[in-house]
Amino acid sequence: MERTKQKFEFGTDGWRAVISDEFTFKNVSLVAQAVADFIKSDERKEIDIYKRGIEYRDFKNGLVIGYDTRFLSDKFARKAAEVISANDIPVFLVKSATPTPVVSFAVKDKKTAGAVMITASHNPPEYNGIKFKPEYGGSALPECTALIEKCLNRILDENKEVKVNPVAKIEEFDPFISYFNQIKSFIDFDLIGSANLKVVADPMYGAGRGWLSRILNETGLNVIEIHNEANPYFGGLNPEPIGKHIQALIDTVKIENANLGIALDGDADRIGLVDETGEFINSHQIFSLLLDYLVKDFHLKGGVVKTFSTTQMINLLADEYKLRLYETPIGFKYICRLMLTEDILIGGEESGGIGIKNHIPERDGILCGLLLLQMMVVRRIDDLMDRIGHFYYDRRDFHFSDNDEKQRVLDKIQSIKPGEVFFSDLVRTETLDGVKFFLNDKSWILFRASGTEPMLRVYAESFSRERVSELLDIGEAQISHKL
């Protein structure tokens, strides 16, 4: 029987869709078969990264399969495992919901040909998705996902069989110990333990449940974990660690007189922070704090990578420390490519995803949280801002009926001619990813389409919260005007 032709698009980080609408067992099986075909494909060997020294691993090395806490994620992971195993590829399936960076590290630790991660990361609870991690344990580069899409289209066009073996031999494993041993190479647990700090961890009901608390138990710290029960609806929140979603963490830090609050997104590769006063520390500040800490205290060097929507603080610090600065479109896959091909100290994005040298070319909210906790033992969070200046940032998301409408509005904003610009103090515009307007007071505002949802995002940074709010109001008015 012929299948109905369906369009599968791999966005900023994998394929995502609404559960029971497009994200079904049938479609997960199709994508898993495409991954299996990709892993065994001769075309895969021709991908440029292997010519640049990245180790190529044969399909016989197997695949790790992980999953988060979303509705039916464990069942979708089992289905993917049955398909991949039926294609004679060894499968290593995590025993329970596991953070994406832990699954990525398992690829490195087990020396597999890659990993399949069932997660929709920070997307709303009605979504699920599939991320593929190649043998280097980081984001799939565009040429990898393009070849997976090609394999998928071949299956659909030729009505090829999807192999499934419900009684397949699948090895289950717990990746905690190997990941914990890796973390110990970065973190001085004796130093943290000696500081007698109180920490609140908020995994936002996601795959990070229990991970920070389990690791920090080694230090003897007082760790309070909230939102750690099973709740595929994420308590009605989007599991994205930004200010408007973590009020419970802010309240708990204040009530408990804690020294730090750490929030993780749905698959724990992104981080948010709350200081001892209950003040939200945004992703730009986190990125800047980590860069400064790695250079000053760890004496590390290397390039710095930021995405198009990320703070100018990174530019200032890279200049101060004479580090080469790279700027990429939004999406960690662009940072990952540089981490694979250049000497990169740190790479980060506005969403709170940050990767660090000598680990994996991957975002890791758990490692970043532990590094920031360790940093607090020796310095105040405000020390850096007092030195380089205080920058304020915010973002607004605007939902559309479909991706076509979203793109039409963005196209209209991008096509504005110089004489029509709605900022009288415009210095320049850049269009690396969306359109970004730089103003003469060192403020900026960016309009960009989401890569995973029918949504247009407006970002702004300036010298005061009031100015940021003013810029976002102007941006919102422009979107309304272009509809």
Q: What would the pLDDT profile of 320-366 be if each residue is shown by its tens digit?
A: 999 999 999 999 999 999 999 999 999 999 989 999 999 999 999 99
Q: For tokens 């994200």, what's the residue? A: 23
483 SS3 class: coil
Residue 258: pLDDT band (50, 70, 90) is very high
Q: What would the pLDDT profile of 19-29 be if each residue is shown by its tens digit?
A: 999 999 999 99
Residues 130 and 33: their CA atoms lie apart, in Å, by: 13
Residue 481 has pLDDT above 90, yes or no: no
Residues 300 and 184: their CA atoms lie apart, in Å, by: 17
Show the CA angle centred on residue 334, arms to residues 330 and 338, nearest 5°.
140
Provide the pairing of β-strand 260-264 with 271-274. antiparallel
Q: For tokens 């850096």, what's the residue? A: 384
Phi, then psi, of 461 in degrees rounded to 5: -135, 140
Q: What size, in residues, is the chain?
A: 483
Q: How far apart are the first and last CA of the chain?
A: 43
Interhelix angle for 25-40 vs 73-86, to 10°?
40
Nearest to 307 by CA among 451, 422, 440, 417: 451
Enumerate long-range contacts of 24-31, CB under 8 Å, 24 or more apart: 25/75, 25/76, 25/79, 28/76, 28/79, 28/80, 28/118, 28/130, 29/79, 29/80, 29/83, 29/162, 29/164, 30/152, 30/155, 30/156, 30/162, 31/80, 31/130, 31/148, 31/152
pLDDT greater at residue 158 or residue 219:
158
The confidence score (pLDDT) of residue 1 equals: 43
- Spatial neighbors of 202 by CB under 8 A, at least 6 apart, are 225, 226, 227, 241, 246, 248, 249, 252, 261, 262, 263, 264
pLDDT-above-70 percentage for the chain: 96
Residue 411: pLDDT band (50, 70, 90) is confident
Expressed in percent and rounded to 5, the helix, strand and coil fractions of the chain are 40, 20, 40
Q: What would the pLDDT profile of 120-153 be if each residue is shown by its tens digit?
A: 999 999 999 999 999 999 999 999 999 999 999 9
**How many CB atoms within 10 Å of residue 378?**
12
Q: What would the pLDDT profile of 217-230 be if each residue is shown by its tens digit?
A: 878 888 999 999 99
DSSP state of 222: E
Domains of the chain, residue spans = 15-178, 184-388, 392-482
- Strands (E) in 42-97, as ranges, are 63-67, 91-94
Interhelix angle for 176-183 vs 100-110, to 10°?
90
Q: What would the pLDDT profile of 57-68 be if each residue is shown by its tens digit?
A: 999 999 999 999
Residues 311 and 382: their CA atoms lie apart, in Å, by: 16
- CATH number 3.40.120.10 given to 184-388: yes
The confidence score (pLDDT) of residue 417 equals: 61
pLDDT greater at residue 483 or residue 232:
232
Write the CA distances from 43 to 10, 22, 90, 162, 351, integer angstroms. Answer: 19, 28, 21, 20, 33
The amino acid at 405:
E
Residues 448 and 422: their CA atoms lie apart, in Å, by: 17
The confidence score (pLDDT) of residue 422 equals: 66
User: Which architecture does CATH list for 392-482?
Assistant: 2-Layer Sandwich (3.30)
Q: State both tokens at 394.
A: 């915010």
Q: State both tokens at 122.
A: 């920070």
Q: What is the mean predicted confidence (pLDDT) over 9-33?
A: 89
Interhelix angle for 100-110 vs 365-378, to 10°?
100
The confidence score (pLDDT) of residue 428 equals: 87
Q: What is the mean predicted confidence (pLDDT) over 268-273?
A: 96
User: Which architecture does CATH list for 15-178?
Assistant: 3-Layer(aba) Sandwich (3.40)
Residue 453: pLDDT band (50, 70, 90) is confident
Write the CA distances from 2 to 33, 52, 161, integer angstroms. Answer: 17, 41, 11
Least confident stretch, 343-347, 395-399, 447-451, 471-475:
447-451
pLDDT greater at residue 369 or residue 440:
369
Question: What is the Cα Rg of the chain in Å?
Answer: 22
Q: What would the pLDDT profile of 105-122 be if each residue is shown by its tens digit?
A: 999 999 999 999 999 999
